[in-house]
Amino acid sequence: MAPIIVLVALALLIVFFILYKKPGKKVILPDNFKKLLAQHVSYYNKLDEKNKTRFEEKVKEFLGYISIEGVNTDVTFPDKLLVASSAVIPIFGFDKWKYYNLKMVLLYPATFNRSEFLVPGYEKNTLGMIGNGPLQRIMILSKPALHYGFQATPSKENTGIHEFVHLLDKEDGDVDGLPEALLHRKYNTQWLELINQNIETIISGHSDINYYGASNNAEFFAVTSEYFFSSPELFQQNHPELFGLMCNIFQQNPIKPSFKNKNVS
Ligand SMILES: [Zn+2]
């Protein structure tokens, strides 16, 4: 399909939902939603009862102010639940975080081609992206990639978390791998040094961090966050220094979920 047609169709869809979706809509979730969370989201299963309830509330809140729509694919409730979980996990250490820089998540039936969205470069098999320019406040995710991130066998990959971490990174205005809104300034130098060292190790072929993380600082932050939340034990074992600093960034320890912010737990 010509890129321009895709863009016009998307623009119409976006305008429609922005006009007709009231912010903060009350969401009624199906009765089995806690069961679905327990089935698909291992992070949720590790939480104590109090934090499980808090997680459920955050999922509900997210679904109340973000539209999730399919492009050439149906969107089921489990799909929505996985998008919301990807959004809530990285911000679960913060008391009142809201994704003000997001309005809509579009799900694609498979990987997609970035150039359809007039994004420079020709990456045919894109799993997810956050929009810029006309697609500002839009996130696009491949549905299979979203589900793969929550498969039963722990992996180091979670496309949903990856894209939401880019949004957290963007909170200070730049997607640059330095989440200034989250990281205390005194850790900035240490964080940037760790990124540089680790990117070198990835490039030399001696790291178990996905090679894509060596693309630039922003991708490093997003890729290591996937690993941090998906297989925290292994991440801590192999990258203790990065693990410690990322607990500071996210204000939580995902191994045995505990939270630094007193208002949170
Ligand atoms: Zn990325």
Summarised one tens digit per residue, pLDDT across range 13-36 is 655 555 455 555 678 889 899 999
Cα 222 to ligand 1 centre (Å): 6
Provide the H-helix boundaries in the chain.
3-20, 33-40, 42-45, 49-65, 77-91, 143-148, 159-170, 188-203, 217-230, 232-238, 240-250
Residue 2 pLDDT greater than 90, yes or no: no
- What confidence score (pLDDT) does residue 256 get? 83
**CA 184, CA 167: separation in Å to the nearest integer?**
18
Cα 199 to ligand 1 centre (Å): 15
Cα 219 to ligand 1 centre (Å): 5
Q: Note the CATH number of domain 3-259.
A: 3.40.390.10
Cα 98 to ligand 1 centre (Å): 20
Residue 133 pLDDT greater than 60, yes or no: yes
Residue 228 pLDDT greater than 90, yes or no: yes
Cα 216 to ligand 1 centre (Å): 9
Cα 223 to ligand 1 centre (Å): 7
CA 118 vs CA 164, 219, 234: distances in Å = 21, 20, 38
- What confidence score (pLDDT) does residue 184 get? 85
Residue 9 pLDDT greater than 70, yes or no: no
Strand-pair category, 258-259 with 252-253:
antiparallel
Cα 51 to ligand 1 centre (Å): 29
Statement: the pTM of the whole predicted model exceeds 0.85:
yes
136 confidence band (pLDDT: 50, 70, 90): confident
